[in-house]
Amino acid sequence: MRLYGEPLVFVGDQPSFLAFTPAPRAQLELRRTYLRQRRSLVYEEGRDYAFDPAAGTLIRLPGSRIPDFRTNILFGQQRFDHTRFPGYGNQAFFAYVDYHTPHRIELRGASGSPQLRGARTRLRTGAALKVVAFGDSITWGGEASTPRLIFWQRWVRDLRARHPRARISVVNGATGGDTTTQGLQRLEDKVLRHKPSLVVVAFGMNDHNRGSVPLPRFRAQLREIVERIRATGAEIVLCSAFPPNPRWRHSANRMERYAEVTRDVATRTDSAFADVFALWQHITARKRPEDLLANNINHPNDFGHWIYYRALSALLK
């Protein structure tokens, strides 16, 4: 498998870990930008970094052109309130690496989700398929460097490429900052009036904040959103969310519970489920939280949006 644009931040001379062990004699490209561009700064092994293939680590060298994460305004801060640190964020500190690995990512539901029979038929027959993406700022596209890298945009682009006869349209029905509470309030305007045939529902990040939406209410509200969409005849994909920065003071640090509830609601309502949480945990087991947090809080960078996209891609072939 080839990993494209896996992000790293470099803290002094501490090792930064690749998600997976690289293939024997693997060649790396480490660059400044996620997308490979003509003017991208490509870092040089021996000048900017040292690579240990056996350990799957890279180390920033003295005098390197790679940014040192120790100069990030939030570096070393515990239980930080981001509003007290103007200019916070990690975009200026990422380096992105391409490499081959013998590891394979096994995705739940890789044979396709039976809950999406209608969408599959529409794609196969060349019928119209209207997709609405409904959720919070992550779904809206927060911190993606270009709209085409938003996770559901990537997914829809793949569907169009695989099913050129299908007439696929997509609507961004997400609103930054929303929980399932606001989701219910906006459901008619953001989703139902568009008469979708498929809705990607991705809440949980803001519900999970300290003092926000307790688990029982999250469960009830998420289920009500699903049932009201289902009543129109549309099919549904529920996405779990990933853990925010554990050092952020507003994180409840129990995203696994919200992911479990999302999975359970999907099961009980016979909805498709994109297990973003599990895939995120699998890919980031060897990595720092900051490696994938564009705002250093709760927004994924381009590679994080790719993880969402990979979770979706297992559901509809």
Structural domains of the chain, with CATH: 2-100 (no CATH), 114-313 (3.40.50.1110)
Q: Give me the pLDDT at residue 264, please.
A: 98
Whether residue 291 is predicted with pLDDT greater than 60 in this model: the reply is yes
- pLDDT, position 178: 98
Distance CA 309, CA 312 (A): 5
CA angle, 150 as apex, 149 and 153 as ends, to 5°?
90
- How high is the pLDDT of residue 106? 77
The pTM of this model reads: 0.97
Per the CB < 8 A criterion, the answer to whether 245 and 298 are in contact is yes
Contacting residues for 106 by C-beta, under 8 A, at least 6 apart: none
Compute how many other C-beta atoms are within 10 angstroms of the C-beta atom of residue 186.
Answer: 16
How many CA atoms lie less than 13 Å away from 67 in the CB half-sphere? 21
Q: Reduce the DSSP state of residue 78 to 3 states and report it.
A: coil
- What would the pLDDT profile of 217-252 be if each residue is shown by its tens digit? 999 999 999 999 999 999 999 999 999 999 999 999
pLDDT beyond 90 at 67: yes
In this prediction, residues 121-129 reach a mean pLDDT of 97
pLDDT value of residue 111: 55
Mean pLDDT of 117-134: 97
Measured distance CA(50)–CA(178) in Å, rounded? 43
Distance (Å, whole) CA 211 – CA 202? 20
Q: Taking 60 as the threshold, does the pLDDT of residue 153 lie above it?
A: yes
pLDDT tens across 81-101, in order?
A: 999 999 999 999 999 999 999
What is the mean pLDDT of the segment spanning 286-300?
98
Q: What percent of the chain has pLDDT over 70?
A: 98
Max Cα distance, the chain (Å): 61
The whole-number average pLDDT for the span 266-283 is 97
pLDDT attached to residue 105: 87
pLDDT value of residue 107: 74
Residue 184, pLDDT score: 98
Q: Is the per-residue pLDDT at 76 higher than 70?
A: yes
What pLDDT sits at residue 317? 74
Compare 26 and 172 and report the one with higher pLDDT: 172
75 has pLDDT over 80: yes
Asked if pLDDT for residue 108 goes beyond 70, the answer is no
Q: What is the mean pLDDT of residues 174-192?
A: 98
Whether 307 shows a pLDDT value over 80: the answer reads yes
Q: Are strands 167-172 and 128-135 parallel, antiparallel or unpaired?
A: parallel
Mean pLDDT for the chain overall: 96
